[in-house]
Structures are given as structure tokens and as C-alpha cells.
A and B are shown apart, each in its own frame.
Chain A
Amino acid sequence: MVTFEPVDLFIALPEIVLLVLGCLVLTADLFVSQKARYITARLTKFSLLLIGLVILLHQSDSIRYAFSDMYVADPISDFLKLLSCGSVLAMLIYAKNYIEVRAIYTGEFFTLTLFTLLGMMIMISANHFLILYLGLELLSLSLYSMVALSRGALVSSEAAVKYFILGALASGFLLYGMSMIYGATGSLLLPEVASRLSTNPEGINLALFGLVFVVAGIAFKVGAVPFHMWVPDVYQGAPTAITLLIGTAPKFATYAFIFRLLVEGMGEGRMLLEWKQMLLLLGVLSIGFGNFVAIAQTNIKRMLAYSTIAHMGFLLLGFASGIKMGIAASMFYAVTYVLSALGAFGMILFMSRRGFEADELKDFKGLSRASPWYAFIMLLLMFSMAGIPPTVGFWAKLSILQVIVEAGHIGIASFAVIMSLIGAFYYLRIIKLMFFDAVETGKPLDEQNGSGILLGINGLAMLGLGFLPGVLLSFCERIISFSI
């Protein structure tokens, strides 16, 4: 018999506060006219700050379960939730000017942003197949509709439909796989699944069959080759503010999703052996394909989409090493990647004006003459993405390569290095356009206080973390070793 315990509510406090604030913003927006929409925007930012504070005060160095073990709060979840919250807040600051002059400056934009964050937080704290799936659906559903939010634009609608249909297909894959694993183990609770798989090897064939579908579903959501088709179209078609949202904070949720499902739920024996192979293959294909195709792009959003595919390949390789260090290296990589993606998309948003998207490569020509400071920031971000020292991106790639070598895949490590070299071309091309080409589209930068300062901090953070990579990496290792 299950009894209700009020302590459950306290353990899940961040989610509950976020839900209440989300509903509050939704209701408050009803009484706000279009001219006073900044009130909704400020309320949303204030809510995010408050949730960040709640997560900070609420965190503890222990693992706590709630709601009949479906909810888990551990140091990993606190860290990832705080980062997701921070990147959503950064997205709102970067996107302020962009959305204000476009048709997506509506209350729904802010409400759906908050619900997206709620979906991510639920995924990060899930300890049950059903909760993982529901969190993922909450996140995806909010994102699908946000992509379509600018109703007049045909590309956005096309991107939204593609995203929705392929996302639904991926959810189908995931559910089918989960149902097979449920059939093999008789439980949906992740620790329970893990213990039954190790004690009862008869159902292993059925569980492996389910695992194939689960990994395919994960690959769809991550955007790993060969399940990457939606990524370039969605990144290009969505309004840049939404692209920024899709490309940053959900990566933490995806990381948590892989961690909970594969490492915690099926991280032993035969299952570990099998998914290591699958992730290795997905990672190698993504790194190769993403880097090669990105070279041919002229639209910077599309180029960054292919670069995301390559980066996600690296993230999967960390998991594929199957060792604790590798999982920590993946987390380090995710943090680094999201930081640089925030800056890169933030720069596109910073340069865009009314009727000017700044999403073509040629729009970056001669930026160093218009503003040497922002060109320098973009240079740092591109260096970090390419993995050039002294930026933090170098250390992230290095730590992944280290664990891959440690796991005995020297061939794959050298392949990843060669592909990164090829990938460096298209990052360096942007730097060349900014510093050595003449201005083509004569749009001057105008000062936007908030996002300009944040962009500076973001770019310098790539450099600062690059000088002290050990702090973040050892922190990742410490919180990972709490849970496994």
C-alpha cells in the first residue's frame, strides 16, 4: 500500500515551483496587452532566476527518491538542472531584440519556454521508463509548437512538420523498445530493470531486441547519423531564437536521458557490451558525416546544425567507452558544447535586425572592421567548437579522445582527430570571413546592452575555462561517481 508523504513534495520542489510559475506566467499574460508584453518577458526571466535559486538551495550530496521511486534527485540532476535553467535564461536574454521585432513576441513564446524547461527537468530527474518518456514528450511537444510559432513563415511550418513527424516516429521507436524491455524484466523502474537483467539472464534476448529500438530512438532525439535528417532542416527553418533553444539546453536533458536509460538502467554485463558497440558506430558515423557535410553549407544555421551532429558524435563516443571517466568526459563535453553553441547562435541573434536574419555566411564578412570586439568573441567561440587550444573545446575533445584510447579504440580515436581537422576548416572559414574579407552587407551593429555583455562573458568563458579545465572536469567526475 502506497501512502502519501509530504516529503515527496519537498524533494521535487524545483519542478513544482517551475510548474506553478509557468501557470502563473500563462495566466498573467492574459491581462497584458501587446504593448506591455515586456511584463511577461520579465516575469519569465524572474521565474527562471527564482528556479535557479531553488535548485541551488535545494541541492544536497545525497541521492533522494520520491513518488514511489519514480523521481530521483542526485548531484547530477542538480547540476544539469541548474545548467539547463541558466541556458534557457541566456537564450531569453540573447533573443530579446530578435523576438521583439518579429511576430513571435507573444505570451505563448514565454509560457512554452517555461514548459520546455519543465520537460527537461523531469527527464533529468526521471527514474522510471514512463517518466522519461513523459518528460521527453513534454519537451518535444513544446518545441514542435515553438518552431511553428511564426505562422506566416513557410520554412518554419515545414521545419515544424518535419520535426513533429520524425519526433513522433522516434517516440514510437522508444516506446516499442521500452515495452520489450518491460516484457523481459517485468518492471519499468530503472534500478529494478538493472537488477533483474543481471539476476535473470533468460529474457536477455528480448531485452536486447528492445535495446536496439531504444538506442534508435535516442539516436533520433540526439540527431546522430543515420537518424539525423531532421536536424539541418529544423535548425535552419526555425526562428533563430528557437534554434538557440533547441540547440542548447535540451542537450543536457539528452545527456541525462542516455545516462539514466543506458548507464543506470542497463549498464551491466551483456547489455553494456551491446550498447557500447551501437553508440560507437553512431558516434563514428556522426563525426564523419557531420564534419564533411558542414563544409558545403552557406547558411550558418545549417552549418551549425551539421556541426551539432558531429559534436553529438563525440558525446556518444564518451558513453561508448563504457568507463566512468568516459561518462564524466561526455558531461564535460556537453557543458562545453552548449556554452559555445549559446555564444554562436547568440551572435547570429545579436547581428540580426528587423528584416535581416544574419544567418548567411556572407553576413559575417568584415565583422572585425564593424566591431573588433565581437569579432574576437566569435573567434573564441569558433576556436572552441573546432577544438583549438587554449579554448575549452580543446580540452573537451582531448578528454573524449583519452577515454576512447583508454577503452582500446585507438583507430577510432585517430579517425575522430582527422575528422576534427577537416571540421576545423568550416569554423576557420568564418574567422577568415570576419577578419580578412571586405564588408558585403552594410548593416552596422547597434548596441544591445544585455545581450552584448552576456556575449562577451560567454566568449571569455570559453577562454577562462580553457585555462582551468581541470576544475570542471573533476567536478563532473565527482558527481558522476556519486551515482555509479
Chain B
Amino acid sequence: MQTSQLAFYFFSIILIVAASRVITSKNPVHAAMFLVLAFFTAACLWITLGAEFLAIALVLVYVGAVMVLFIFVVMMLDINREKERRRYRNWLLPVLIIAGVMVAEMFFVLGEQNLGIDSTPYPIFNDPNYSNTKELGRLIYTEYVYAFEIAAVILLVAIVAAIALTLRVRNNKRANDVADQVSTSSTGRIRMLSDLNDDIDANKRKDL
């Protein structure tokens, strides 16, 4: 057995175990951590296939940013609903049967001739100086520039929508206005009063 095959089976087993633990573990934090493991192992698999940019992006974006946010949310929410879980468990058998039938049907329709290991060519490995990242960058900014620009517009819409849906302007907030504090002068600070009672407003008078 070649080293690359050995690596493939090693990572695949970890990936499958981690992915199934994501949906079977009882503690949501554990499930999230298993998802991190699954992403990381998938990234390792991609590296063995020579797609190092995608692998690094997966680790940086999903493991580094998305999953950290996810774990934050999971830890802040109190998700421990044994009762609901028991309700789901009643559905386990029918769901498993339906899913099993679907997988079997897909296998019969597609079979090995379409998705088998023999019909999928192994990636071509280039010389060590070949840069995956550079090639992707070249493609994105030349051939796929139109798609790239549309993706940018989608992000712009996402920003506009997120702000429009969440920004709340409060008029009665008590926060320091730093600019106001810095630009103050000594004359504005102290007011000399001739008679105390003249300038005290109604509220203060009540206090006195």
C-alpha cells in the first residue's frame, strides 16, 4: 500500500468518525468540537490531493472564524433538552430506514461506473514550484472576474441587510461623548451662581 493511500484511509476514518459524532454526541459543545475536527481532517485530505489553498482557507475560515462563533453561541444558549431529544429518538428507526433506502437507491442509480474510484482520475501533481494559490488568484481575476464581482455585490447586500435589520438607534442612551469631552473649555465647565435657588431646576429642588 502506498503512503498516499495510507494517508487517505487514515484521514477518512477520522473524518467519518468525527462527522458521525457531530450528530450523535449529547453535549452540543462536544458536537461543535467534533465538527472542528471534521473540518480539520477534511483540510488534511485536500492537502493530500494537492489543493493546499482550499485546505488553508477551510481551516482559516471555518475552523478559525465560523466555528469559534458557533461555539460562542452554543455556550451562551442553554441547550439541554432531554425531553425533545427523546421525542426525536422515537423517529430514529423510521428515519434510518428511509435514509438507508435512499442511499441504496442512489447507489443503484449511479453505481460505481459514475462515482467509483476507477472513474475518478487522480489529480495531476505539478513540480514543487507550482503555486496553487497563484493559479487560483490568476483564474479569479481573469476568467472568473464577473462571478467575483457579483460575489462582492452579494457581500455588500449582506452588510446593508444586516445593518438594516439589527441597528437600533436609541435616543435615551447614557454614553460618554468623547469628542464633546475633549473639546470642552474651562469657561463651559463652571457656572457662577448668584443665588442658589434661581438656577436649580424643579427636580433638584424636590431633592433639597
Contact = CB atoms under 8 A, between A and B. Distances in A.
Contacts, number: 81
B156 to A, nearest CB: 8
A361 interface: no
Main secondary structure of the interface of A (DSSP, over half): helix
B197 to A, nearest CB: 41
Contact of B114 (A118, A122, A205): A205
A149 B165 contact: yes
B65 interface: no
Interface string A92-120: 00000000000000101001100100100
A122 B161 contact: no
Interface stretch (B6-14, B74-82, B85-93, B144-152): B144-152
Contacts of B142: 2, 4, 68
Contacts of B164: 106, 108, 112, 145, 149
B106 interface: yes
Contact of A112 (B110, B143, B144, B157): B157
B158 interface: yes
B1 interface: no
A2 B161 contact: no
Interface in A257-307: none
B154 interface: yes
Interface string A121-137: 01000001011001101
Interface string A381-418: 00000000000000000000000000000000000000
A209 interface: yes
Interface in B127-148: 142-147
Nearest to A109: B164
Interface in A173-192: 183-184
B110 A209 contact: yes
Interface in B154-171: 154, 156-158, 160-161, 163-165
A71 B160 contact: no
B154 A138 contact: yes
Main secondary structure of the interface of B (DSSP, over half): helix
A484 B150 CA distance: 27
A172 interface: no
A131 B161 contact: no
B161 A112 contact: yes
A183 B110 CA distance: 12
Contacts of B114: 183-184, 203, 205-206
A26 B154 CA distance: 14
B115 A134 contact: no
Contact of A138 (B110, B157, B163): B157
Contacts of B196: none
A134 B106 contact: no
A19 interface: yes
A68 B140 CA distance: 12
A224 interface: no
A237 to B, nearest CB: 15
A135 B160 contact: no
A343 B145 CA distance: 39
B108 to A, nearest CB: 10
Contacts of A67: 145-146
B109 interface: yes
B106 A209 contact: yes
A145 B147 contact: no
Given A26-B160, A115-B153, A134-B151, A2 B143 contact: yes
Contact of A145 (B146, B156, B165): B165
A424 interface: no
A71 B156 CA distance: 21
Contact of B158 (A26, A141, A184, A205): A141
Interface of B: 106, 109-111, 113-115, 142-147, 150-151, 153-154, 156-158, 160-161, 163-165
Given A112-B160, A206-B114, 17 more contacts: A2-B142, A2-B143, A4-B142, A68-B144, A70-B144, A108-B160, A115-B153, A115-B156, A128-B147, A130-B147, A138-B157, A141-B161, A145-B160, A145-B164, A205-B111, A206-B115, A209-B109
Task: Give 10 nearest A-B pairs by CB, closest first.
Answer: A145-B161, A67-B146, A108-B164, A134-B150, A2-B142, A206-B114, A68-B143, A2-B143, A115-B157, A70-B146
23 contacts: A2-B143, A19-B153, A66-B146, A108-B164, A115-B156, A122-B150, A128-B147, A130-B147, A131-B146, A131-B147, A134-B147, A134-B150, A134-B154, A135-B150, A138-B150, A141-B154, A141-B157, A141-B158, A149-B164, A184-B114, A205-B109, A205-B111, A206-B110
